[in-house]
Structure 1
């Protein structure tokens, strides 16, 4: 289905439901939803379906600081029932979230930090979207996005030194060259235990170990067995 056809289908659905009669039932967005469960529409300059529905029924937001609030607390489930939508400030919206038990927070917790890639992505989004919409997208407070916009937010380096494809290639090459494992660890810049664990996960076998076991002469009582 083309993007134009999808846009028409979603617009028709919105028009058909802007007079939704059931005030007590949630009306769930039947099309694509983002990782936070909110309906995505990309229509008439709006990214979110619930925001466009609010504009269609309630008019434009009173100020740029007003965002779409859900009285049902089911915004994260994709509700776009026009009876449940209203324009509220960030402070009012957060108060609603606390009442509903859906207070926005980062996926790493209240004290979590974004990765450097996420920070860069947010900075790109700031060129085309409001801080409020980005905050809702990442489920954080608007002040957090504001800090990123002002350059006052820095990502916390990961405490984990993850293996990269380049590290794996370097490991394979060092093992293929026949180096002892402690030398291999030095070459890839990892601890011996980390190297042996990674080799096991990748199914890499040390040539030196293989050759040593293949040509090893059994011992009896601490002495080599005689050949004859």
Structure 2
């Protein structure tokens, strides 16, 4: 009778995936050249979280472990309610420090503007509605608008130039000059886009 192979790393009982290693250790070997590199020891993330929960200072404490592609830290959930087994570290911190959100859809908002860098300082967190949280992003300058928007093609200086030419140069000619559509030039001139630029 054949026996199923397990990972060759001492203490790891996960099933073999490749090169004598489980999927996680094989991935680390491929990424770092060492199957043990980049690994967080058991309980290390929870210990950091508890230390951050006790922290009374005002400096940003940045989550040093797993972060998603938006920069927000993630931690394993305490309950089995969430199927993914992970939750935002800053949201868990807000719950631990300030209680459950008034509304389940409320967001854990950062007063420091450093959420995308993984800040979990409890004094920087509070429950806000989606609209309130988005308004904070405008205040902090972290909202993806203008030159921070991934689809943007124009600089703020070019917006000012287009508006200065409005009524003097045909919109079609401006569009050709800046490599954008005439409809985009039209909404820029009308102030419907980039409205915050005086």
Q: Name whichever structure is richer in helix by fraction.
A: 1
TM-score, normalising length: structure 2: 0.49
TM-score, normalising length: structure 1: 0.43
Q: Which has the larger radius of gyration?
A: 1
